[in-house]
Amino acid sequence: MVTVAAESVNPLPFSRRFSDDDTFTRPFPERTAMSDPADPPITFYRLQACPFCERVTRTLQELGLEYRSRFVEPLHSKRDVVKRVAGVRTVPVIVDENTGVTMAESANIVDYLESTYGDGATDAETGTAVASGDGGAE
């Protein structure tokens, strides 16, 4: 009888690939004066192929914002990290350390990002107008 080690069948189990620790940084050339190169101020909790998350991704990119993506567990009941951070298990969720805002709901997040960082936005800390540029939009 031939036995096959589980590792050789599935070297990277699904639950490992999407664990809460799967964090990566997505750098953008534009950085705000507030940014720490090692630690983007915006953390984006998201899920692969989530249309609501894609909407937020597009807005972040259009505004040229630097952020850190954290891919949550696909299984709703296992999304403890985002539940702890935002009180919900749905994604998208963002945490913006620039302003202290934690927010769920894609439409609210898009509105928030555009009003905080888009044209005509005021600086979250000083209340002064933020210079508008192309924001790195493609």
d(CA 38, CA 36): 5
Under rule CB under 6 A, residue 59 binds ligand GSH: no
17, 83, 71: which is closest to 44 by C-alpha?
Answer: 71
Dihedral sign for Cα atoms in the order 101, 50, 34, 118:
negative
Task: Tell me how far, at minimum, the Cβ of 130 lies from ligand GSH, in Å.
Answer: 25
Beta strands in the chain (DSSP E): 23-26, 42-46, 67-71, 93-96, 101-104
Encoded one letter per residue, x for contact with ligand GSH by CB under 6 A and - for no contact, window 63-92 reads -------------x------------xxxx
81 vs 130, beta carbon nearer ligand GSH: 81
Report the amino acid identity of residue 27.
P
**Which residues contact residue 12 at a Cβ distance below 8 angstroms, ignoring those fewer than 6 apart?**
none
47 vs 63, beta carbon nearer ligand GSH: 47
Binding segment (CB under 6 A) for ligand GSH, from list 2-10, 13-21, 32-40, 44-52: 44-52
**Which residue in the set 30, 97, 105, 123 belongs to the binding site for ligand GSH (CB under 6 A)?**
105
63 vs 103, beta carbon nearer ligand GSH: 103
Binding site for ligand GSH (CB under 6 A): 47, 50, 52, 76, 89-92, 105-107
